[in-house]
Amino acid sequence: MSGVENTRKTPRQPRAKHSVDVVLEAAAQLLEVTGEAGFNTNAVAERAGVSIGTLYRYFPDKASILRALAQRETEAHRSAVMAVLDGGSPGVARDRAIIRAFVQAFAGRTKARRIAVSAMLAHADHGELAAQFAAVEHGMHDAEGRPLTKVQAFVLGRAVQGAMRAAVLEGADFLESQEFEDELVRLGRAYLGYSVAKRGG
């Protein structure tokens, strides 16, 4: 996300990248424990075990930490989705595996996820975000084997993404539930004309 890169120094050396990862992991832990009330650069630096100067070298303020954290998790989710598309979900239907990858993002840290995603969306280029997941929509077919039109792929993709994003931003207590996963799968399969498989299928 270009907005993130414009607000902080991009680490290039392994040691610098490690420092950034440590800071972002500490930020995620802190958010999950304290929420926004206890989140500031000094607290993050203390939890990460780095000096405040080291933190400021890469993150000028706490908002840039939040956006970078959300972007890191978005990239991790995108990588997980691409692995599924490349055949990396043995024993699990592809559509379910893609949805499950989203639900399991942020390692189950729902509070940290809501705060970080809210910060990212406030400054995001939404067209750029959508482009990151274009591969998921490309080449989709309905139950009759017909490729989806651009409009059909858009409607289906945004319907599923919208429900998932709302669950995150609204702090839904069912975000990680089997029922929510099942309903998202059912939504997609119904649109495509497939019979809805039983739970877990």
DSSP codes joined into one string, the chain: -HHHHTTSPPP-SHHHHHHHHHHHHHHHHHHHHH-STT--HHHHHHHHT--HHHHHHH-SSHHHHHHHHHHHHHHHHHHHHHHHHTT--TTS-HHHHHHHHHHTGGGG-HHHHHHHHHHHHHH--HHHHHHHTHHHHTT-B-TTSPBPPHHHHHHHHHHHHHHHHHHHHTT-TTTT-HHHHHHHHHHHHHHHTPPPPPTT-
pTM of the model: 0.76
Predicted pLDDT at 200:
53
Pair 50, 126: CB distance under 8 Å: no
Mean pLDDT in consecutive groups of 10 residues from the start of the chain, 201 residues: 47 79 95 92 97 95 93 83 80 88 81 88 76 70 90 91 91 92 95 72 59
